[in-house]
């Protein structure tokens, strides 16, 4: 008897998700080998960039109206803190001083083939350690995600 109820619940959830389909975000990293700091080591860098791209795409699903397309070119990445080598690997030290996260981004928002908004800007959060965290303390990119979430909502979210 539980399976039909579960099937109905999943069907309703899928219908609700389809009704709330958001916009699409395309992310391109321009010369990622030249980024100031995209990870502690060569193994972290591709993982971090993949996580950042997926996160920006998720923000598009959450905040952009259906039918809008946002193309983002990431021109530079500087993660919060700095890498400190240790015997067991690199450790990222975050002090809340002049080690804030920042991204250099170029973007173009369009709908139906028409440009709605475009620009290039440096996104930074100088007070990143003084905010109540909305992302898991265990997330290695929590400061970057919090910063990008705020920037995305401010620039692109549909008015409520």
Residue 159's pLDDT is what?
73
Strand (E) or helix (H) holding 143: helix 142-156
3-state DSSP call for residue 19?
A: helix
Residue 18's pLDDT is what?
44
Residue 136's pLDDT is what?
78
Integer distance in angstroms from the first to the last C-alpha of the chain?
Answer: 40
pTM: predicted TM-score of the whole model, two decimal places: 0.80
pLDDT in tens, the chain (160 residues): 444 544 444 444 444 444 456 899 999 999 999 999 998 888 889 999 999 999 999 999 999 999 999 999 999 999 998 777 777 766 677 777 778 999 999 999 999 999 999 999 999 998 887 877 777 778 889 999 999 999 999 999 877 6
Q: What share of the chain is helix, strand, coil (3-state, %, to 5)?
A: 35, 30, 30
């Amino acid at each position: 008897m539980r399976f039909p109820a579960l099937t109905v619940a999943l069907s309703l959830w899928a219908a609700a998700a389809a009704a709330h389909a958001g916009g699409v975000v395309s992310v391109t990293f321009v010369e990622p080998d030249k980024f100031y700091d995209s990870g502690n080591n060569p193994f972290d860098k591709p993982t971090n960039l993949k996580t950042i791209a997926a996160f920006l795409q998720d923000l598009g699903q959450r905040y952009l109206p259906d039918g809008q397309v946002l193309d983002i070119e990431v021109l530079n990445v500087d993660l919060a803190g700095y890498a400190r080598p240790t015997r067991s690997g690199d450790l990222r030290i975050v002090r809340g001083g002049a080690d804030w996260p920042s991204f250099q981004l170029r973007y173009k928002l369009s709908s139906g083939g028409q440009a709605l908004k475009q620009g290039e800007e440096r996104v930074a959060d100088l007070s990143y350690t003084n905010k109540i965290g909305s992302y898991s303390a265990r997330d290695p990119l929590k400061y970057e995600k919090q910063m990008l979430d705020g920037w995305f909502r401010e620039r692109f979210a549909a008015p409520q």
